[in-house]
Amino acid sequence: MLKKNIFLDRDGVINRDSPNYIKHRSEFEFLPGSLEALKLLKEKGFAVIVITNQSAINRKLMPLSELEAIHALMKETVQKSGGEIRDIFFCPHTPEEACDCRKPEPGLIYQARDKYNIELSDACMIGDSAKDVQCARNAGCGRAVLVRTGNGNAAEKLLAGKKIAPDYIAENLYEAVVWMICGTFSSKKLNF
């Protein structure tokens, strides 16, 4: 059983997001500090698993082969920078398909749990949207962290309205990782 597991959303956390979707490798751009954060996670013994909605597939905006190429590029760049992504789980469905794997549903996290025998109460999910925090809560993850990159600012308001509190709000992935490693609970911890 892996003890130190961290689930990361992709767009808006690791790389820049786009309202038009990331549909090609040329559109994929790492956010500042994300490669350093992934290196730090590896150095501290965390297994990183990416959990991402990728409805551009079923919207016919990109083929599965291009998503696989984007993920191969991401993993290779992370590895060259000293980090490691253990696995990537993605949902290709649109919201209208009402699947159980599209966040905020916990299906992708459950797939990872089953494949790697993960104790979810010991795991953390880091994301930039309300769906990410809700997914972590729905799956039973021990911690949920919201980052302000990507959709984080809008997500804060949405979560407050739903009375769902992340365990921590970070400016970016690097700050979230430092908080996770240090176990620091600061004034940014919210109680709704």
Taking only the tens place, the pLDDT of each residue in 96-131 is 999 999 999 999 999 999 999 999 999 999 999 999
- Is the distance from CB of 116 to CB of 140 less than 8 angstroms? no
For the question of whether the overall pTM of this predicted structure is more than 0.75, the answer is yes
Task: With a cut of 90, say whether residue 23 has pLDDT above it.
Answer: yes
Q: Is 11 a catalytic residue?
A: yes
CB atoms within 10 A of CB 116: 14
Q: Please, which residues bridge with residue 8 across strands?
A: 50, 126
The gap between the terminal CA atoms of the chain, to the nearest Å, is: 33
Q: Is 9 a catalytic residue?
A: yes
Q: Which residues contact 92 (CB under 8 A, 6 or more apart)?
A: 54, 55, 57, 58, 64
Q: Domain residues of the chain, as ranges?
A: 5-182
* The pLDDT of residue 152: 76
* The pLDDT of residue 153: 81
| Structure tokens that stand for 104 in this block | 């905020």
Q: Which residue has the tokens 């600061």?
A: 186
* The pLDDT of residue 1: 42
Cα–Cα distances (Å) from 132 to 30, 63, 79, 127, 144, in that order, read 19, 24, 25, 5, 8
Q: How confident is the model at residue 192 (pLDDT cuts 50, 70, 90)?
A: very low
Instruction: State the amino acid at position 184 in one-letter form.
Output: T
Q: How confident is the model at residue 66 (pLDDT cuts 50, 70, 90)?
A: very high
Q: How confident is the model at residue 151 (pLDDT cuts 50, 70, 90)?
A: confident
Closest CA to 108 of 88, 80, 131: 88
The C-alpha atoms of residue 82 and residue 190 are separated, in whole angstroms, by 33
Closest CA to 7 of 70, 40, 67, 52: 52
* The pLDDT of residue 3: 63
* The pLDDT of residue 191: 37
- 81-96 confidence digits (pLDDT tens): 999 999 999 999 999 9
Pairing of strands 143-147, 5-8: unpaired
- CATH T-level fold of 5-182: Rossmann fold (3.40.50)
For the chain, the average pLDDT equals 92
- 68-80 confidence digits (pLDDT tens): 999 999 999 999 9
Task: Count how many residues are written for the chain.
Answer: 192
The catalytic position among 9, 17, 128, 167 is 9
- Is the distance from CB of 122 to CB of 180 less than 8 angstroms? no
